[in-house]
Amino acid sequence: MSEEHEAPKQSDYISLYDSIVDRKPVKQGADVGLSGEEYIVSLGEDKVFALAPAAYYIWNLCDGLRSVGDILEKVKSDLKESGEEGLEEVELKQILAMVLSELNSVGLISWT
């Protein structure tokens, strides 16, 4: 019998967001370049990752100075500026928590 893993629920990401809102992520690794529509980031010769544009954008905001809450405000501001305001704040929180969780799990961010 195989073991099935359920994807985290949206409410799990809201709980995660609430638990990290004041923490300050710091990006790790180096920007290598662009391949098609994905951004290539390296943690060394043997660890290379292809990030979607949204994940790359969030990774670049992880400067160790901004808290997760500050990053959310920056994302909201940039979306408003570009006329892309289609997402509700709760959706942005879920996306941000999901992306930060994934970046953390592969070592592309650390926390101050």
Q: Report pTM.
A: 0.89
Per-residue pLDDT reduced to its tens digit, 60-102: 999 999 999 999 999 999 999 988 878 899 999 999 999 999 9
% residues pLDDT > 70 (the chain)? 92
Q: Exposed (0-12), middle (13-18) or buried (19+): which is 80, by Cβ within 10 Å?
A: exposed
Q: Where are the domains of the chain?
A: 10-111
The pair phi, psi for residue 20, each rounded to 5°, is -115, 0
Residue 87 has a pLDDT of 86
Q: Given a cut of 80, is residue 7 above it in pLDDT? A: no
The angle that helices 53-61 and 89-105 make with each other, rounded to 10 degrees, is: 80
Residue 45 has a pLDDT of 86
Using the CB atoms, write b or e for 7-35: b if 16+ within 10 Å: eeeeeebeebbeebbeebbebbbeeeeee
Domain 10-111 has CATH 3.90.320: no
Q: Given a cut of 90, is residue 47 above it in pLDDT? A: yes
